[in-house]
Amino acid sequence: MNDPLAPGPLAAADVRADWDPNGSCADLYQGAVWIGSLRLLDAWFTAGSRIPQKAWVVEWQVESRATVFERALVELGASSALDEERKADLARRARALIGERVQSSPAPFGAVSTDLDSSQGLRDRIEAISHALQAAQHRLGEDARITEEWGGVKVLTSLTEALAWLRALDEVLRFTWQQAIHPTLKEVASKQIDDAISRRKELPDFVQEAFAERQRRGSPYTDWTLMLLDRGLALSPGDLRGLRWLAGKMLHFGPVPAVELTQFRPGVQPRWTWRRAEEIFPNADEDLRLGQRRHYEANLAGRSMLSKFKLTLMLIEAELLFCGLIRKSEDADLSYPPSPE
Closest to 28 measured CA to CA, from 90, 74, 84:
90
In a domain, 50, yes or no: yes
pLDDT band at 29 (very low <50, low <70, confident <90, very high): very high
113: in domain: no
Q: What is the pLDDT of residues 201-231, one digit of tens each?
A: 888 899 999 999 999 999 999 999 999 988 8
Give tens-digit pLDDT for 144-194. Answer: 999 999 999 999 999 999 999 999 999 999 999 999 999 999 999 999 999
CB 80 within 8 A of CB 22: yes
Domain count, the chain: 2
Predicted confidence (pLDDT) at residue 312 exceeds the cutoff of 90: no
Residue 204 counted as domain residue:
yes
Q: What's the whole-number mean pLDDT along residues 5-30?
A: 75
- Write out the residue range of the structural domain in which residue 237 sits: 119-328
Whether 338 is in a domain gets the answer: no
Let me know whether 298 and 233 are in one domain: yes
**Residue 246 has what pLDDT?**
94
Question: What value does the mean pLDDT of the chain take?
Answer: 88
Please give the pLDDT value at position 44: 94
Task: Please give the average per-residue pLDDT across 112-122, as a whole number.
Answer: 89
Query: Which of 97, 128, 154 lies at the terminal end of a domain, its last residue?
Result: 97
| Greater pLDDT, 337 or 22 | 22
Mean of the pLDDT values across residues 308-319?
88
pLDDT of residue 340: 46
83 has a pLDDT exceeding 70? yes
188 and 39 within one domain: no
Q: What amino acid is encoded at 239 in this protein?
A: D
- In this predicted structure, the answer to whether residue 53 has a pLDDT above a threshold of 90 is yes
pLDDT at position 274, please? 96
Confidence of residue 307 (pLDDT cuts 50, 70, 90): confident
Tell me whether residue 210 is in a domain.
yes
Flag whether pLDDT at 7 surpasses 50: no
Of the pLDDT bands very low, low, confident and very high (cuts 50, 70, 90), residue 10 is very low
Do 179 and 319 fall into the same domain? yes
On the question of pLDDT at 339 being above 70, the answer is no
**Identity of the amino acid at 311:** L
**pLDDT over threshold 60, residue 305:** yes
One domain for residues 159 and 263? yes
Q: For the whole prediction, is pTM greater than 0.85?
A: no
Quick one: 22 and 164 in the same domain?
no
Identify the domain boundary among 97, 128, 163.
Answer: 97
114 within domain boundaries: no
